[in-house]
Amino acid sequence: MKRSLAITLSIAALAFAGCQTATTPATPPATPPVVATTTQQISTQQTTASQQTTQQDPPVAMPAELKTKMTITAVKDYKPYPVMTVGLADDGFYPSDIRITAGTKVVFQNIDENGEHWPASDPHPIHNGLPGLDAKKALKYNEFYEYIFDKPGTYPMHDHLNPNFKAVVTVTE
Protein backbone atom coordinates (compact mmCIF):
# COMPACT_ATOMS: atom_id res chain seq x y z
CA MET A 1 0.00 0.00 0.00
CA LYS A 2 2.76 2.43 0.98
CA ARG A 3 4.67 1.56 -2.17
CA SER A 4 1.73 2.26 -4.51
CA LEU A 5 1.03 5.50 -2.65
CA ALA A 6 4.66 6.59 -3.08
CA ILE A 7 4.58 5.77 -6.81
CA THR A 8 1.28 7.66 -7.23
CA LEU A 9 2.69 10.70 -5.41
CA SER A 10 5.88 10.60 -7.54
CA ILE A 11 3.86 10.51 -10.75
CA ALA A 12 1.66 13.37 -9.54
CA ALA A 13 4.72 15.44 -8.62
CA LEU A 14 6.27 14.89 -12.04
CA ALA A 15 3.03 15.82 -13.78
CA PHE A 16 2.66 18.94 -11.64
CA ALA A 17 6.28 19.99 -12.32
CA GLY A 18 5.72 19.63 -16.04
CA CYS A 19 2.73 21.97 -15.91
CA GLN A 20 4.50 24.75 -14.02
CA THR A 21 5.68 27.84 -15.85
CA ALA A 22 8.97 29.54 -15.10
CA THR A 23 8.69 32.33 -12.56
CA THR A 24 12.06 33.92 -13.34
CA PRO A 25 12.15 36.32 -16.25
CA ALA A 26 13.91 35.12 -19.36
CA THR A 27 17.12 36.83 -20.46
CA PRO A 28 16.17 39.75 -22.67
CA PRO A 29 17.07 39.17 -26.30
CA ALA A 30 20.04 41.02 -27.73
CA THR A 31 19.16 44.26 -29.45
CA PRO A 32 18.34 43.36 -33.05
CA PRO A 33 20.46 45.05 -35.68
CA VAL A 34 18.83 48.04 -37.32
CA VAL A 35 19.10 48.21 -41.08
CA ALA A 36 20.09 51.70 -42.17
CA THR A 37 19.15 53.09 -45.50
CA THR A 38 20.98 56.42 -45.48
CA THR A 39 24.48 57.60 -44.57
CA GLN A 40 23.06 59.72 -41.76
CA GLN A 41 21.35 56.68 -40.20
CA ILE A 42 24.56 54.64 -40.42
CA SER A 43 26.54 57.41 -38.74
CA THR A 44 23.93 57.73 -35.99
CA GLN A 45 23.94 53.97 -35.38
CA GLN A 46 27.75 53.87 -35.12
CA THR A 47 27.77 56.77 -32.66
CA THR A 48 25.04 55.16 -30.56
CA ALA A 49 26.83 51.80 -30.54
CA SER A 50 30.14 53.36 -29.46
CA GLN A 51 28.38 55.35 -26.74
CA GLN A 52 26.72 52.18 -25.46
CA THR A 53 30.05 50.33 -25.38
CA THR A 54 31.69 53.19 -23.49
CA GLN A 55 28.88 53.25 -20.95
CA GLN A 56 29.02 49.48 -20.41
CA ASP A 57 32.82 49.09 -20.33
CA PRO A 58 34.40 52.06 -18.54
CA PRO A 59 38.18 52.21 -18.75
CA VAL A 60 40.08 50.90 -15.73
CA ALA A 61 42.63 53.30 -14.30
CA MET A 62 45.98 51.86 -13.25
CA PRO A 63 47.11 52.90 -9.76
CA ALA A 64 50.03 55.35 -9.84
CA GLU A 65 52.27 53.09 -7.71
CA LEU A 66 52.01 50.35 -10.34
CA LYS A 67 52.81 52.70 -13.20
CA THR A 68 56.17 53.54 -11.69
CA LYS A 69 57.06 49.89 -10.96
CA MET A 70 55.91 48.30 -14.20
CA THR A 71 58.35 47.87 -17.05
CA ILE A 72 57.49 46.18 -20.30
CA THR A 73 60.39 44.99 -22.38
CA ALA A 74 59.96 43.87 -25.95
CA VAL A 75 62.41 41.20 -27.01
CA LYS A 76 63.50 41.69 -30.58
CA ASP A 77 64.07 38.53 -32.59
CA TYR A 78 63.12 36.25 -29.66
CA LYS A 79 63.89 32.61 -30.34
CA PRO A 80 63.09 29.86 -27.85
CA TYR A 81 65.85 27.52 -26.75
CA PRO A 82 66.20 24.38 -28.82
CA VAL A 83 65.56 21.43 -26.51
CA MET A 84 67.02 17.94 -26.45
CA THR A 85 66.01 15.18 -24.04
CA VAL A 86 68.53 12.65 -22.78
CA GLY A 87 67.26 9.59 -20.97
CA LEU A 88 68.95 8.09 -17.91
CA ALA A 89 68.25 4.35 -17.98
CA ASP A 90 69.35 1.32 -15.99
CA ASP A 91 72.37 0.93 -18.27
CA GLY A 92 73.39 4.54 -19.00
CA PHE A 93 72.64 7.72 -20.93
CA TYR A 94 70.49 7.65 -24.10
CA PRO A 95 72.05 8.99 -26.22
CA SER A 96 75.51 9.00 -24.69
CA ASP A 97 77.11 10.98 -27.54
CA ILE A 98 75.24 14.29 -27.41
CA ARG A 99 75.92 16.84 -30.18
CA ILE A 100 74.17 20.20 -29.92
CA THR A 101 74.57 23.87 -30.79
CA ALA A 102 75.25 26.60 -28.24
CA GLY A 103 72.09 27.74 -26.50
CA THR A 104 70.45 24.30 -26.48
CA LYS A 105 68.61 23.22 -23.35
CA VAL A 106 69.26 19.58 -22.50
CA VAL A 107 66.71 17.83 -20.32
CA PHE A 108 68.17 14.85 -18.47
CA GLN A 109 65.23 12.64 -17.52
CA ASN A 110 65.29 9.48 -15.42
CA ILE A 111 63.54 6.80 -17.48
CA ASP A 112 64.58 3.99 -15.14
CA GLU A 113 61.51 2.77 -13.22
CA ASN A 114 63.70 0.85 -10.75
CA GLY A 115 66.52 3.22 -9.93
CA GLU A 116 67.67 6.76 -9.29
CA HIS A 117 70.20 8.68 -11.37
CA TRP A 118 72.20 11.89 -10.87
CA PRO A 119 73.61 13.57 -13.99
CA ALA A 120 76.75 15.59 -13.34
CA SER A 121 79.85 17.00 -14.99
CA ASP A 122 83.15 15.09 -14.79
CA PRO A 123 85.31 14.46 -12.86
CA HIS A 124 83.65 12.22 -10.31
CA PRO A 125 82.93 13.00 -7.46
CA ILE A 126 83.65 16.77 -7.52
CA HIS A 127 81.72 17.70 -10.71
CA ASN A 128 83.70 20.84 -11.53
CA GLY A 129 84.46 20.19 -15.22
CA LEU A 130 81.54 22.43 -16.18
CA PRO A 131 80.30 24.44 -13.21
CA GLY A 132 76.53 24.22 -12.86
CA LEU A 133 76.19 20.93 -14.72
CA ASP A 134 75.16 18.97 -11.64
CA ALA A 135 71.65 17.93 -10.61
CA LYS A 136 72.90 17.99 -6.97
CA LYS A 137 70.43 15.24 -6.09
CA ALA A 138 69.24 11.86 -7.20
CA LEU A 139 66.43 11.92 -9.74
CA LYS A 140 63.58 9.48 -9.21
CA TYR A 141 61.66 7.92 -12.08
CA ASN A 142 60.36 10.62 -14.48
CA GLU A 143 62.10 13.46 -12.63
CA PHE A 144 64.39 15.62 -14.72
CA TYR A 145 67.23 18.12 -14.57
CA GLU A 146 67.73 20.84 -17.21
CA TYR A 147 70.90 22.60 -18.27
CA ILE A 148 71.47 25.17 -21.03
CA PHE A 149 74.77 24.68 -22.79
CA ASP A 150 75.72 28.18 -23.92
CA LYS A 151 79.47 27.79 -24.57
CA PRO A 152 81.02 25.70 -27.32
CA GLY A 153 83.21 22.86 -26.08
CA THR A 154 83.34 19.19 -25.18
CA TYR A 155 81.93 18.29 -21.79
CA PRO A 156 82.30 14.75 -20.41
CA MET A 157 79.78 13.79 -17.76
CA HIS A 158 78.62 10.82 -15.73
CA ASP A 159 75.90 9.50 -13.44
CA HIS A 160 77.09 10.29 -9.90
CA LEU A 161 75.27 7.22 -8.49
CA ASN A 162 76.64 4.98 -11.27
CA PRO A 163 80.00 6.57 -12.24
CA ASN A 164 80.58 4.00 -15.00
CA PHE A 165 77.59 5.48 -16.91
CA LYS A 166 79.25 8.13 -19.08
CA ALA A 167 78.19 10.66 -21.71
CA VAL A 168 79.90 13.38 -23.72
CA VAL A 169 78.20 16.63 -24.71
CA THR A 170 79.76 18.37 -27.72
CA VAL A 171 78.57 21.95 -28.17
CA THR A 172 79.23 23.83 -31.43
CA GLU A 173 78.48 27.43 -32.44
CATH number of the domain within which 136 lies: 2.60.40.420
pLDDT the model gives residue 78: 65
Residue 106 is assigned to a structural domain of this protein: yes
pLDDT the model gives residue 20: 46
Mean local confidence (pLDDT), 100-106:
96
DSSP 151: S
Model confidence band, residue 109 (pLDDT cutoffs 50, 70, 90): very high
Residue range of the domain that includes 167: 83-172
Residue 167 is assigned to a structural domain of this protein: yes
Taking only the tens place, the pLDDT of each residue in 5-26 is: 444 444 444 444 444 444 444 5
pLDDT the model gives residue 159: 98
pLDDT the model gives residue 65: 59
Mean local confidence (pLDDT), 100-119:
97
Mean local confidence (pLDDT), 112-116:
97
CB-count exposure of residue 88 (10 Å: 0-12, 13-18, 19+): buried
Residue 51 is assigned to a structural domain of this protein: no
Give the predicted TM-score (pTM) of the model: 0.56
Residue 99 is assigned to a structural domain of this protein: yes
Mean local confidence (pLDDT), 23-52:
47
Coil, helix or strand at residue 83? strand
Residue 3 is assigned to a structural domain of this protein: no
User: Considering the chain, what is the average pLDDT of its residues?
Assistant: 75
pLDDT the model gives residue 41: 46
**The total number of structural domains that make up the chain:** 1
Q: How big is the chain, counted in residues? A: 173
pLDDT the model gives residue 77: 67
pLDDT the model gives residue 128: 95
Measured torsion, CA atoms of residues 30, 35, 41, 43, in degrees rounded to the nearest 10: 60
Rounded to a whole number of angstroms, the distance between the first and last alpha carbons of the chain is 89
- Specify the range with the lowest mean pLDDT, choosing from 36-40, 76-80, 116-120: 36-40
Residue 102 is assigned to a structural domain of this protein: yes
Residue 109 is assigned to a structural domain of this protein: yes
Confirm if 125 and 159 have CB atoms less than 8 A apart: no
Residue 144 is assigned to a structural domain of this protein: yes
